[in-house]
Structure 1
Amino acid sequence: MQIGMVGLGKMGGNMAERLRRGGHEVVGYDHDPAISDVASLKELVERLSAPRTVWVMVPAGKPTQQTVDELGELLDEGDIVVDGGNSHYVDDQKHAAELREKGIGFVDCGVSGGVWGLQNGYALMCGGEQAEVERVMPIFETLKPEGEDGFVHAGDVGAGHFAKMVHNGIEYGMMQAFAEGWELLEASDVVKDVRGSFSSWRTGTVIRSWLLDLMVRALDDDEHLEQLRGYAQDSGEGRWTVQAAVDHAVPLPVITAALYARFASRQDDSPAMKVVAALRNQFGGHAITSSEGSTGKGADSPGADVTPPREAE
């Protein structure tokens, strides 16, 4: 099958390569001319035979909107656009409606697999009309892992990215659980082999998983993670998952806490913890640490100006 691939970064480039290895003809476009097959989206469309299929792998938000807008002017009735990026499912519905007015189909596809997808295949979650999904199935079949699993037509337009959004929310929670367990093991005076403890869980336990395998791999590279700073970004899906939970009145305490933990990781000196420290000092006389690192007297310690009644925390 012939397909156009817009965006040839870490994911898009590997996906294009997997498709080529699977016998498909891929025409790729990227802003980097060194890796692009064509000089523009217009040339990409001209290189494809009708009815065309163009897969978009660019960042969510404005870049995707601009790409969809331009493709809407270049493509013809009967062509299909697949958004395989990490778009918000609400944007999918908007894009589908805009393209539908011009007779252009739209399929949203959440893609999971990261840098390992070229070798292992990609888990695909798509949304859209049945006939349009079926037209793209040869592409989906090549991208997905071998076997029955790894692909779902989740529902209407937006369902694919909604499913991927929830997938990433679950991923946030799982990673946070591993992270907290690792920190507790590292803090223990009893456990001497933290890396070995994680590795022992890879066989026979209920938490064995690829994520656990990757955790052990990271500890093999840096046993105590001393080369890393405890700072974690979020790519948007975690926030959208929590917002969707609010919209649907569904409690997500684990995923929400994992998202907030990432926010906390970006603070060298947490403003909120300053308030907590100050209040603990005021009502309980607990020692406080200054911005220079020195420890001050508690509010009810000898020499303090105020002696409030003692409270238990």
Structure 2
Amino acid sequence: MQLGLVGLGKMGFNMRERLRRAGHDVVGYDRAAEVRDVASLEELVDQLEAPRLVWVMVPAGDPTRETVERLGELLDEGDLVIEGGNSRFSDDQRNAEILAERGVRYVDCGVSGGVWGLEEGYGLMAGGAAEDVERAMPVFDALRPEGPREEGFAHAGGVGAGHYAKMVHNGIEYGLMQAYAEGFELLAAAPQVENVPEVLRAWTRGTVVRSWLLDLMVQALERDPQLENLRGYVEDSGEGRWTIEEAINNSVPAPVMSAALFARFASRQDDSPAMRAVAALRQQFGGHAVHHAGPTSGAGDVHGH
């Protein structure tokens, strides 16, 4: 099958390779000249035979909207666009409407797998009309993991459902990662445990907490047993925030995912203003000792009143 792929970053580049290994004819475009097959979107569209299929893998927000709008100007009736980036689900209806003005079809697809997707395959969650999803199934089958289709692919519903499913997937991921991280810290702090990496490695087989994320944690510890080469600073992709917003909108309690998101916010604060306020209040009402900021601040700079 022939398709165009717009965006050859960390995931798009590997997706192109996996599709080619499966025998598909992929024409790739990216702003980076060293990885692209064609120099422009116009050239990409010209090289595809109608009815065309174009998969978009560019950053969410303005880059995706601008790409979709430009494709809407270049493509013809009967062509199909698949938007596979980490876009907010609420953007999908607008994208679909822009393309529909030219008779171009639209499918949104949440993609999970990261840099491991080339060899392991990608988890795919599609949203759109059944006939559009079916048309793209050869591409989905090439990208998903080997095995039964339902274990690596889902037609989640209409336009927007794919990105909604991926949003919730990432919210769950936040919670799982935070639980493993807190478990690691507790093990490392306990004087009774002398080999934290070995404990975590043992959990990867036969236990109820085994998972691919745990496997990746073990791999990280094999390279850096104390994780001393990393800062405890963690960004969020946006999908974790959107998940919590949707939990609020739908009155769904989500304390684990919420706490995991807020923990990421806390990771970016070298000296939390909120915790300074807590320290000040404890000192005021209870006379508790505090640590004063400054060149000599530290364990020895503790005062009580």
TM range (shorter): over 0.9
Per-residue deviation, 1:296: 3.8
Q: Distance in 2 between matches of 1:201 and 1:24?
A: 39
Give the alignment's TM-score, normalised by structure 2: 0.97
Letter in 2 for 1:136: A
Partner of 1:95: 95
The percent of aligned pairs where both chains have the same amino acid is: 65
Mapping of 1:137-152 within 5 angstroms? 137-148=137-148, 149-152=151-154
Count of aligned positions: 299
- Higher Cα Rg: structure 1 or 2? 1
Matched, 1:213 2:215: yes
1:229-282: CA deviation from partner (whole Å, max 9, x where unpaired): 100111111001001111111110000000000010011111111101111111
1:246-257 alignment, distance < 5 Å: 246-257=248-259
Deviations 1:88-133 (A, max 9, x none): 0000111112211221100000000011100010000000000101
Whole-angstrom distance in 1 between the partners of 2:264 and 2:77:
44
The one-letter code sitting in structure 2 at the alignment partner of 1:40 is S
In structure 1, list runs of 5 or more residues that go unmatched.
302-313
Q: Give the corresponding residue for 1:289.
A: 291
Tell me the secondary structure at the aligned position of residue 263 of structure 1.
helix
The residue number in structure 2 matching 1:227 is: 229
Matched, 1:37 2:37: yes
Question: What's the TM-score, normalizing by structure 1?
Answer: 0.94
Q: Distance in 2 between matches of 1:166 and 1:105?
A: 25
Q: Distance in 1 between matches of 2:2 and 2:92?
A: 23
SS in structure 1 of the partner of residue 136 of structure 2:
helix
Q: Which consecutive unaligned segments of at least 5 residues does structure 2 have?
A: none
Paired position in structure 2 for 1:278:
280
Superposition RMSD on alpha carbons, in Å?
A: 0.8
Write the distance in 1 (CA, Å) between the matches of 2:282 and 2:125. 48
SS at match of 2:27: strand
Counterpart AA for 1:18: R
**1:204-240 alpha-carbon deviations (Å, 9 max, x no partner):** 1100111111111111010011111100111111001
CA drift of 1:297 comes to 2.1
- Partners of 1:203 and 1:13 in 2: CA distance: 32
Q: Which residue of 2 aligns with 1:71?
A: 71
Structure 1 residues 15-164: aligned runs within 5 Å: 15-148=15-148, 149-164=151-166
How far the C-alpha of 1:86 sits from its partner, in A, is: 0.3
1:143-182 CA-to-partner distances (Å, cap 9, x unmatched) read 0001111000000100000000000000000000000011
How far apart are the structure 2 equivalents of 1:155 and 1:284? 56
1:34 offset after TM fit, Å?
A: 1.2
Q: Kindly indicate whether residue 270 of structure 2 is the aligned counterpart of residue 268 of structure 1.
A: yes
Query: 1:81 is matched by which residue type in structure 2?
Result: V
1-side partners of 2:3 and 2:66: how far apart?
A: 20
Q: Distance in 1 between matches of 2:145 and 2:256?
A: 29
Output the amino acid matched with 2:107: V
The one-letter code sitting in structure 1 at the alignment partner of 2:70 is E
Q: CA deviation at 1:203?
A: 1.5
3-state SS, counterpart of residue 26 of structure 1: strand
Aligned-partner Cα distance in 2 for 1:18–1:100: 30
Q: One-letter code of the match for 1:212?
A: L
